[in-house]
Amino acid sequence: MATRKSGIPLSTISPKFLHANSTSHTWPFSAIAELIDNSYDPDVRARQIWIDWTRIRGLDCLSFMDNGEGLTRARLHKMLSFGFSEKKATKSHIPVGVYGNGFKSGSMRLGKDAIVFTKTRDTMSVGLLSQSYLEAIGAQRVLVPMITFRRDGHNHVEDGGSLRAILTHSLFNSEKELFAELRAISAAGPTGTRIIIWNLRTTTNGETEFDFDTDKYDILIRANISDKSNMTPESEYSLRVSRACLARIWHAIRNIHDLVYVLLKRDKYVNWRGGDCLVTGLKEY
């Protein structure tokens, strides 16, 4: 039983909720929109985000990296927890979600496992949200291993268990590999956040629902995706249109981004798989 407060049991969250919660996204691009929106929150202040596909230890992965201010240990813990949100609507920013659920529902819709690397001016932290890890240890409630390295060398002694869990149950098996990912953030700026998602969702024939091969500068949805029960007629039609068709706005990530940020009046720069995708100065439809 969870620790009591004044003799009253605290509520806990079952690991099965991670998958159940992700089903709020019937369409994978809405999950991606959540992750993009998080990087543009006023308290993060990212001006650029890089989205790419990579393979790590033979597994397809999606990566999201921004050049924002990074997350402190406390804010990373809130990000990996449920119901904590500091999002507020402003004239220049209308958040997609305000209930502290976006990262969890979005990342777990795209894959079973996600790891977060983040750098602030003073700290570097790593956090793991992993269904595979929770299944492997037979967890009865959601656990989120998290470690923090301070630039002054005064690290958290209690992080030993979390470090062992991350090195055992993530794609990165040594501290050297973790630091390599943290250093990768420096390519975007002195601070920022990098998210890697793996064990991506697959179709009934075992392929990932995303097509990374047809266009090396884009990410498409496979034409044989089977779960069409919740698609609108427009999105289902888009699975059949040709690559040259201008109406494929529901077929490719960069066009979904255009749609989302036209509607939300954004003015940002996104790099898709190494190709320039400048989406500043968009006009309303």
Give the model confidence (pLDDT) of 161-216 as tens digits. Answer: 999 999 999 999 999 999 999 999 988 889 999 999 999 998 888 888 888 888 88
Contact at 8 Å (CB) between 128 and 196? no
Q: Of 36, 24, 44, which is closest to residue 88 (Cα–Cα)?
A: 44
Q: Which residues contact 230 (CB under 8 A, 6 or more apart)?
A: 26, 27
pLDDT at 255: 56
Burial class (CB in 10 A: 0-12, 13-18, 19+), 50: buried
Q: Helix %, strand %, coil % for the chain, to 5? A: 30, 25, 45
Separation CA 49–CA 95 (nearest Å) = 16
Instruction: State residue 121's pLDDT score.
Output: 93
Sketch the domain layout of the chain as residue ranges.
12-200+210-273
Cα(first)–Cα(last) distance of the chain, in Å? 53
Q: Is the pTM of this model over 0.85?
A: no
**Domain 12-200+210-273 in this protein, CATH class:** alpha beta
